Structure 1
Amino acid sequence: MQGSFYGDILFTKDLTLHSEIDGNFNWSEAKSFLPTYSYGATGSDPAYVNTLAELQEYNTWDNFWNWLEHLNYSHTFADKHAVTALVGHEVWESTYDGIQAGTKGFTAGNTLQTLGLGTQANNTLAEPKGSSVMESWIARLIYTYNNKYSITATERRDQSSNFAPASVAPPGHQIGYFPSVAVSWRISEEPFMHGLDPVLSNLKLRVGYGTTGQSNTSGGYKYGSSIKPIVTGLGTGFSFNNFNNPNLTWETAIQTNIGVDFSLLNNRIDASVDVYDKTSKNFLFQQPLPAFLSGGTAEYSNAAVVQPPWVNAGKIQNKGIELSITSRNIESKNFRWTTNVILSHYTNKVISLNGFPALSGIVSTGFGPQIPATYTQVGGAIGEFYGYKTEGVIKTTDQLAFLAQHPQNVTGQPLIVSSDRTLSNAIYLGDMLYAGNDGKGGANKQYALGNPNPNFTYSFTNNFSYKDFELSVFFTGVQGGKILNAVKFQIQGLYGLYQNQLAPTANFWTPSNPNSNIPAPRSGFGNNNLVMSDRFLESASFLRLQNLRLGYNLPSPWATKVKMRHLKAYVGGQNLFVITKYQGTRSRSRLAEPEPPAAEYRLRQVSFSESGHLRPERRVLKL
């Protein structure tokens, strides 16, 4: 449930107070039951058996509310000096809570599925909860002279509960100050431009400089150490859940931009060009720590027993340019057609990692291999894919003879030539051959294989109206960049039994199928064929029909009869189709689909598309 209430108080014609309260409240309930079962071929021992039924129930809720007060002043003095001022106060709070309970071993069988009928020794109970609060003060002043020259100055003071107060770490880190300033010159208002009105009806130059802050730590209490319960034979004990860092503070970004707005042909075409340089520093992310410093890894998990601390580190520079064009193609009495096109290009570079040599990005494929997919280092781009370059499938005995004398090493050890495909340290006909062999059995060279950053992003919207009918068509797309199809490791890896594979993999290399470029099966996912390489990278380019909407404005008398001013019926759809060469699941991964104009990839975010684990974007139809 969500809602918003707002009101305005007009003290004078120049002075108003805007008050607004927003809320978003969510509740969810889930239940899962795994029954006992036994089944298999008739006359044989059961192939699949579960003797212990399990019940899990979840009840969760999260609440968000926001309250703002904005005092606005606007007045023009002597017809030339326009002053607009704002003083604002905002506060929001986000809380979550819930109950997670489970039990096993139902003596009453599978029919009665309630928590009270399980075996007490198997009961589990958890209550995840937390909150974050933000308070902000805002001041903004805009001065415009004669509709030509303008300056805007803004100051924000934000205070976040995600950082330590002064009582914990003097002088405190909760408060951040974020100023900005912008100036503009409407050149088209100058006398020397008046003769160009029919062709160049508007020309405006803009320059801006400002800072912003970010406090998201995926939960509130990360500057301190929390505890977690542990069930032992002597009762419930407690251990540290995470390392603390009372000096955790705001992540900041400093941006400079220059822009030009212009209109052509009596305002038939409006366009703007923006060039920006944005430097972000003190990124908020969890510092990677070796297992021996964090109590090892938890049972049946790759997670550390004690979670690593959140830290501020790193510095990244983003540079880019964006072009936006809006054209009024046809404007007649009954028919109108307008088009909007946005093109964006950017680059990013790592300036500092605060002493870290590099950051590796690991993709988990469930029960499959752990993939060291990216390698982010100073001077390079965020999320650079890093691995081996393939040279095809080994198909000849001459290649085997070479590898016997010059062992390939992509798994941490020199690979021996053997036809035994159960050996993880062996290589033979039908296996992958990689570049970078040093000829001595040392590790093969790894290469930068590309990154998710596109050459450019684009979108275009066409709006049509004919009498009371309206049609809007919105396309978006990306050109260039790489994306990791991690699901290939599982459903095209051919490394084990009981794992479904895509149909094309049945055409793998065999002596009777010697021209295949699909490697032959080899047991275990630590083998030569399942290392990070360009074999698992694909083009991230795509064109998507993001939104389509057809509407009809119903006659005014119909609206009047139901005490309304306007009625519209429409049918629409989202994500209706995608044109792409990518074979994996499409998703709203930021790294697969950067957000123009200034896509900024954060150090704490996974710098690749985990296509095996992201939910595909839904196709939505609306009426």
Structure 2
Amino acid sequence: YERYNFKSRLEAKVTPWLSVSNNTSYFKSNYSYPGLGGVNTIFKNASYRALPILVPVHPDGTLVYETNIMNYTLAGTTVALSNKKHNNKDEIDEFMTTFEVVINPVKHVEIIGNYTYSKYDKKCTNRSVDMQYSKVPGVTITMPESTSGGNKLTVLNTKNLYYAYNAYGTYGNLFAGSHNVKLTGGINYETKSYEDLTVSKDGLLSDELNDFNLAKGENTVVTGGKNKYALFGVFYRANYDYKGRYLFEASGRYDGSSRFKKGHRYGFFPSFSAGWRISEEPFYGALKNTVDNLKLRLSYGTLGNQQVGYYDYLQQIETGKVLNYSFGDKEKASYAYETAPNASDLTWETVVTKNIGLDIGIFNNRLNISADAYIRDTKDMLMPGKALPSVYGAKSPNMNAADLRTKGWELVVAWNDRFNVMDKPFNYGVSFGIGDNVSKITKYDNPNKEISSPYVGQRLGDVWGYMVDGYFATDEEAANYGVDQSVVNYIINNAVVDRGLHAGDMKYLDLDGNNKIEQTVSANDIKDQRIIGNSLPRYTYSIRLNAEWNGIDFSVFFQGVGKQDWYPSSDAFAFWGPYSSPAPSFIPKDFLADVWSVDNPDAYFPRPRGYIAWTDGRSLSSVNNRYLQSLAYCRLKNLTVGYTLPVKWLSKIHVQKARLYFSGENLLTLDRLDTDYIDPEAAAAGTNWKTGKTNALSYPFSKTYSFGIDITF
């Protein structure tokens, strides 16, 4: 991996009333890697498709893909990596420059105009070759093209162009020594275009050279794609304060987006805020000696969201499709079709936030407290509309379909002080911040409250699951269990060996008393699935400590989540191991100690059975309370220790300041997960808010240790 960065900033005062500047950056990277598909696929397959029960190479050096006794072809990943001729290269060039002009025509007035141009180019080259393998040593077979990629060259070119124009003016003045006014108004225009071109051809004459002139095969594929959007807006802001005591601000935007149909493209988004510094009032008097600062804040703000597809308001015609049959010709006929019905009246989603806050400074502002409470209403959410029956034959189109209300609060407490140690000042500070919020659906067309779609009253992130009462102690208990739990026992009930429930299998509880485990389809008719947790984080917090004495400085930063639930998805192999699939490359060394057996009846996992965590309708993949995980954690995010050398040591070498330091990142994590092989933040990334499931297949967090020196001349 090679990466190059260039940044520059130039500024010139042309005249007393005119300034010009330019800010430019350039980024270039080259990333080469072997194997089939994208690099993410390589890492993913390496983690659960190395298949340790199948050796990758025969004694004679030929590669193994499948054998005469096993056709488990996941080993193809290893073959593709081993032949060293499947090569890929991703090249990125990104250039951005901004020119700005600042004009001060008269006193108190400033006019600013800027222009930004950005170009992003990405080229992905993927080369595959015909791969040879052996089922038995000495007899080679060509791997199927559908698995190996075949002898083929594919090049994908992506180009993005972005332009932005801003022009605005400000006027600020202080009247009568008490009235401070500042006005701002301007316009904004931006547009971005996307263009893709993919070319693929087979039959290359060389395994080493990559050029389409060498591709003599009959299969050529050329695909493209273009998208573009534009935004135009007018904005303003007005600020007023009286003696720093009464503070007011009013701002707003009138924005239009090309993502919506004419007549629905524009939205107005105003905001207002006010502050009252009570501690500056004449009547505050003696309270100033105890509570130095007391400020009340109120705000009301709106924001617009236009993040839907580029042309969702249009019903489009898809081309380039090929029939599965021909009309007497050798070539199959092509056809075009209309896309699914759409909602042509799409418009802006609006987020309205109402906030009240209080700032307090006590003991000469050594103790500072900032508290906020807010209600955020997301109106006309852009998402698929009402749930439609399968006979409709198409997905529900994106619409302004739902409203969401979020209630939350935030609190920050900080203490900063100093005292002398050995006649030298010791400065230190401690701060603690915590916040929480809960979101509920307040509007959606789902009167039956089907839990597969949003419904009014639903708390965002709720996890529905079954209740489990441990394992069956004996085969007899399992056979005589009077509850039909077939809905979660597909693999067990259809197994070739040891079919049916046995000792060590999970006992699901019949909560509605009808002697049958059933899914809950509607919140109006709760069966055996109940709300057992919530996948969204609660009580997020941070702690920061810092101190400085005699040139020595120290800081430490913790962050964490107080409450969050997670149910591992079927391909969370680091959690389920072979219960999901027999193919994982890595199994924890102490895994068997957690597996049920006659001698280990209280084990964490049930009796060994492959695939019972794979796809729905199986005993472990069915969300339940026994394997619901807590993602609460506390992480030492950063620790920094430094020493600033005394000035008298540096003056002789003409150095103004020199500081030596050590810094560590992600040094310690405390969590409550029932595994040592998954990071709580990685597990939370991309969690499905409906099911709480994700696979935690992300690049692991790493501990980083840095040593350095800062020198000022």
The equivalent of 2:164 in structure 1 is 66
How many aligned residue pairs are there?
Answer: 576
The equivalent of 1:99 in structure 2 is 197
The equivalent of 2:375 in structure 1 is 277
The equivalent of 2:543 in structure 1 is 460
In structure 2, distance between residues paired with 1:389 and 1:42: 49
The equivalent of 1:12 in structure 2 is 106
The equivalent of 1:579 in structure 2 is 670
Q: Please say which structure displays the higher CA radius of gyration.
A: 2
The equivalent of 1:163 in structure 2 is 260
* 3-state SS of paired residue (2:143): strand
Is the 8 Å Cα contact of residues 536 and 689 (structure 2) preserved in structure 1?
A: no
1:111 is matched with which residue: 208, 232, 237? 208
In 2 relative to 1, CA 536–466 (structure 1 residues): closer, same or farther, beyond 3 Å? same
Is the 8 Å Cα contact of residues 410 and 531 (structure 1) preserved in structure 2?
A: no
2:596 is matched with which residue: 509, 521, 536? 509
1:132 aligns with 2:224: no
The equivalent of 1:222 in structure 2 is 312
* 3-state SS of paired residue (2:694): coil
The equivalent of 2:533 in structure 1 is 450
In structure 2, distance between residues paired with 1:585 and 1:57: 36
In structure 2, distance between residues paired with 1:554 and 1:26: 45
In structure 2, distance between residues paired with 1:25 and 1:330: 51
In structure 2, distance between residues paired with 1:510 and 1:419: 19
The equivalent of 2:416 in structure 1 is 328
In structure 2, distance between residues paired with 1:92 and 1:36: 47
AA at the equivalent of 1:407:
D
The equivalent of 1:402 in structure 2 is 480
Is the 8 Å Cα contact of residues 475 and 502 (structure 2) preserved in structure 1?
A: no
The equivalent of 1:205 in structure 2 is 296
Is the 8 Å Cα contact of residues 632 and 680 (structure 2) preserved in structure 1?
A: no
In 2 relative to 1, CA 134–410 (structure 1 residues): closer, same or farther, beyond 3 Å? same
* 3-state SS of paired residue (2:487): coil
Offset, 1:40:
4.2
Is the 8 Å Cα contact of residues 98 and 129 (structure 1) preserved in structure 2?
A: yes
1:317 is matched with which residue: 384, 388, 405? 405
AA at the equivalent of 2:272:
V
In 2 relative to 1, CA 93–615 (structure 1 residues): closer, same or farther, beyond 3 Å? farther
* 3-state SS of paired residue (2:279): helix
Offset, 1:539:
0.8
* 3-state SS of paired residue (2:579): coil
The equivalent of 1:545 in structure 2 is 636
- Residues 95-494 of structure 1: pairs in structure 2 closer than 5 A: 95-106=193-204, 108=205, 110-118=207-215, 120-165=217-262, 172-217=263-308, 219-226=309-316, 227-232=318-323, 233-287=331-385, 293-294=392-393, 308-330=396-418, 336-355=427-446, 357-358=448-449, 376-403=454-481, 405-411=482-488, 420-421=496-497, 426-436=500-510, 438-441=513-516, 443=518, 445-465=528-548, 472-486=555-569, 490=573, 491-492=576-577, 494=579
Offset, 1:54:
3.9
In structure 1, distance between residues paired with 2:361 and 2:533: 39
The equivalent of 1:82 in structure 2 is 180
Is the 8 Å Cα contact of residues 638 and 667 (structure 2) preserved in structure 1?
A: yes
Superposed CA offset, 1:464-520 (max 9, x none): 456777655332211012123225654435254434463354453344654434223
Moved more, 260-269 or 282-291: 282-291
In structure 2, distance between residues paired with 1:105 and 1:315: 55
In 2 relative to 1, CA 339–393 (structure 1 residues): closer, same or farther, beyond 3 Å? same
Superposed CA offset, 1:160-202 (max 9, x none): 111112xxxxxx1110111122222111011221312232111
In structure 2, distance between residues paired with 1:579 and 1:62: 42
* 3-state SS of paired residue (1:248): coil
In structure 1, distance between residues paired with 2:246 and 2:260: 40
In structure 2, distance between residues paired with 1:311 and 1:513: 54
Is the 8 Å Cα contact of residues 83 and 143 (structure 1) preserved in structure 2?
A: yes
In 2 relative to 1, CA 537–67 (structure 1 residues): closer, same or farther, beyond 3 Å? farther
In 2 relative to 1, CA 33–274 (structure 1 residues): closer, same or farther, beyond 3 Å? same
2:583 is matched with which residue: 474, 480, 498? 498
AA at the equivalent of 1:310:
N
In 2 relative to 1, CA 154–442 (structure 1 residues): closer, same or farther, beyond 3 Å? same
AA at the equivalent of 1:162:
R
Offset, 1:579:
2.5
In structure 1, distance between residues paired with 2:704 and 2:117: 25
Q: Which runs of 5 or more residues in structure 1 are unaligned?
A: 166-171, 296-306, 362-374, 595-600
* 3-state SS of paired residue (1:276): strand
* 3-state SS of paired residue (2:307): coil
2:127 is matched with which residue: 4, 27, 33? 33
In structure 2, distance between residues paired with 1:428 and 1:278: 51
* 3-state SS of paired residue (1:533): coil
In 2 relative to 1, CA 312–505 (structure 1 residues): closer, same or farther, beyond 3 Å? farther
Compute the TM-score of the two structures, normalised by the length of structure 1. 0.80
The equivalent of 2:695 in structure 1 is 611
AA at the equivalent of 1:257:
N
* 3-state SS of paired residue (2:225): coil
Moved more, 485-494 or 432-441: 485-494
* 3-state SS of paired residue (1:197): helix
Is the 8 Å Cα contact of residues 489 and 530 (structure 1) preserved in structure 2?
A: no
1:520 aligns with 2:611: no
AA at the equivalent of 2:483:
H
Superposed CA offset, 1:541-585 (max 9, x none): 1122334556788999xx9xxxx9999887756545433233464
AA at the equivalent of 2:298:
V
The equivalent of 1:168 in structure 2 is none
Offset, 1:119:
6.0
Is the 8 Å Cα contact of residues 276 and 321 (structure 1) preserved in structure 2?
A: yes
* 3-state SS of paired residue (1:193): helix
In 2 relative to 1, CA 472–148 (structure 1 residues): closer, same or farther, beyond 3 Å? same
Is the 8 Å Cα contact of residues 105 and 119 (structure 1) preserved in structure 2?
A: yes
The percentage of aligned residue pairs carrying the same residue is 24
AA at the equivalent of 1:441:
K
In 2 relative to 1, CA 495–465 (structure 1 residues): closer, same or farther, beyond 3 Å? closer
Compute the TM-score of the two structures, normalised by the length of structure 2. 0.71
The equivalent of 2:93 in structure 1 is none
Q: Which runs of 5 or more residues in structure 2 are unaligned?
A: 1-25, 27-95, 324-330, 520-527, 709-713
AA at the equivalent of 1:199:
T
In structure 2, distance between residues paired with 1:617 and 1:310: 36
In 2 relative to 1, CA 95–417 (structure 1 residues): closer, same or farther, beyond 3 Å? closer
